[in-house]
Amino acid sequence: MGAAKKRKIEVRHYIIGIAVFVVAVAVSLIIFFLASSRMIRDKSEDAMRENLLRQSDHLVSILQLHYQYLNSVAEEIGEREGFITEENLRTIAFLQKNTDLDRTALIEADGTSHYDNGVIKNVAYRRYFIEGMNGKETLSDPLESSVDQETRVVLGVPVYRGDEVIGIVGGSYNVTALSQTMLNDTFGGVGYSLIVTAEGKIIAHHGEPVYQKTFTYGENFFDFYSENYNSNDLERVQNDFSQGNQGLLELNILPQTEESRYLAYAPFGMNDWMICYVIPVSAAQDAYSFIGNYETTFLGVFSLFVCLLICYIIHISGSRNRELLYYAQRDSLTGLYNKKNTEEQINAFLQEAQPEVHHAFFIMDMDCFKQINDKYGHATGDQALEAFGSLLQSYFRQSDILGRVGGDEFVVFMKHVKNAENASTRAKELLTKLHSLAVGNMERPMSASIGLVMAPDEGDCYMELYQKADHALYQAKKRGKNQCVIFSREMNAKQAEE
């Protein structure tokens, strides 16, 4: 298998190895980011559920606290003489002033309600009145004020005197304020909150207009969203509402022109009401945004590391390939091209060369090299070859092609030469320099015989030039060595005769 083919196979193996590594890294990063995204989503959804349950308990505790206020007043009034008295009216006024109840009232057994602000009206037809007179703590249906559009409910507790219910102590509470408290305490007030009945009737709502759109009291939650959200999602929510189940899902807006939102809901704990959060997914996941920042930093650093590693691998591979290529092309002793590569380099150049430009092809054979080996030893012979190779490298141009093609035989292809005489002059100057070289313990000066042929006049390929230069080399040896002979066509005939 040729060196070039081996190099191609090695390069292919490196490319495949790097590609496999990059793909493995990419797949690992994708899996890592998908897992991180899933973890952030799970954590965000868990936080939504926990916050909702905590808020539900908090809101119920607020109402229970006000029930305790009302029960305390009811017990006190039950122990006094009379029911609608100045003292009792002052008591409910004090209660209104020192609690979050908007209005307080004493309701007689016939339904006549006396409010802390002096207003009197009959509420005998109200559900909360009937339940209260039956001895129950009661919570009215929500009512929206025509003055401030706030939604309020009436909390009522029975007033006992002995075992008999003689009336009711009631107070109105702003449900919209409850909804606002619920939202402001979580996720920085982003999104909106609702309190709805099991059937979807909106009791109270609060939130930023950008997310809230336009809600109205009494509007149906499911009708409002049916135009923009998946019907299967809403059907699931509707089932959970009717059964009083907690739930959470991601609402995908149709068409998807806006960001998806989480809807979290849970039973309110009173009546059949449900409390809901609707917030953008990004807001719910904002608490874990630092993970995304870490991931981005990690990805940047890791990508840089991978790029540096790949560049290093390519650099090492390239260096090794260049080194292998160098040694595959070179003679190990002299550092010149070996025979095979010398031929390839010269042929490749001649194929691309312009026919009107002249080049010189030299064969150089060291004189009496066998005697040098026999007299001074092979180590000295190797030193002589190495010294001759170094001389060629320093004497000829870097663009010229220099090769060792046999034991003591060298080929030089000198590019862009004016004519044969100029090339011969260069060869003679080389012989002069060679004569002055000192090698090891050699006493005799070094010399060489040179055969010269011009290209493309005498040939346009390595072998043709080599054969003709070899004829000229033969004549140089025959004429006494240590000289350069230029090939002429008569040499072929002479050599044939001999």
- Give the pLDDT mean for 282-293: 73
In this predicted structure, the answer to whether residue 214 has a pLDDT above a threshold of 90 is no
Helix (H) / strand (E) element for 210: namely: helix 209-212
Over residues 425-470, the pLDDT tens digits come to 999 999 999 998 888 888 888 999 999 999 999 999 999 999 999 9
The segment with the largest mean pLDDT, out of 147-156, 221-230, 390-399, is: 390-399
**Mean pLDDT for the stretch of residues 119-126:** 92
246 vs 17 pLDDT, higher one = 246
Instruction: Give, in order, the Cα–Cα distances in Å from 201 to each of 93, 148, 149, 198, 317.
Output: 33, 20, 16, 7, 72
* SS3 call for 421: helix
Mean pLDDT of 58-87: 91
25-34, 359-368, 484-493 — most confident range: 359-368
pTM of the complete model beyond 0.85: no
Percentage of the chain surpassing pLDDT 90?
A: 42
Query: Measured between alpha carbons, how far is residue 194 from residues 183, 214, 224, 385 in Å?
Result: 9, 13, 13, 97
Residue pair 116/107 in contact (Cβ under 8 Å)? The answer is no
d(Cα 488, Cα 302) in Å, to the nearest integer? Answer: 69
* ∠ CA 246-249-253, rounded to 5°: 140
pLDDT of residue 9: 72
DSSP string, 271-321: TT-EEEEEEEHHHHTGGGHHHHHHHHHHHHHHHHHHHHHHHHHHHHHHHHH
Q: State the average pLDDT over residues 317-325.
A: 71
Residue count of the chain, please give it.
Answer: 498
**Strand runs labelled E in 50-139:** 103-108, 112-115, 120-122, 138-139
Q: Which of 88, 138, 137 is nearest to 115 (CA)?
A: 88
CA-to-CA distance for 388 and 447, rounded, in angstroms? 10
Question: Binning pLDDT at 50, 70 and 90, where does residue 345 land?
Answer: very high
For residue 326, give the H/E element and its range. helix 289-329
- Structural domains present in the chain: 3-177 (3.30.450.20), 186-284 (3.30.450.20), 339-497 (3.30.70.270)
Mean pLDDT across 69-77: 94
Distance CA 410, CA 419 (A): 21
> Which residue in 422, 428, 417 sits closest to 450, CA to CA?
428
User: What are 147-163's pLDDT values in tens digits?
Assistant: 456 678 899 999 999 89
Residue 140 to residue 127: CA distance in whole angstroms: 7
pLDDT digits (tens, 9 = 90+) for 249-277: 887 665 555 677 888 888 887 778 888 88
CA atoms of 27 and 33, how far apart (whole Å): 10
Tokens for 109? 């057994």
Residue 206: closest CA among 180, 237, 233, 239: 180
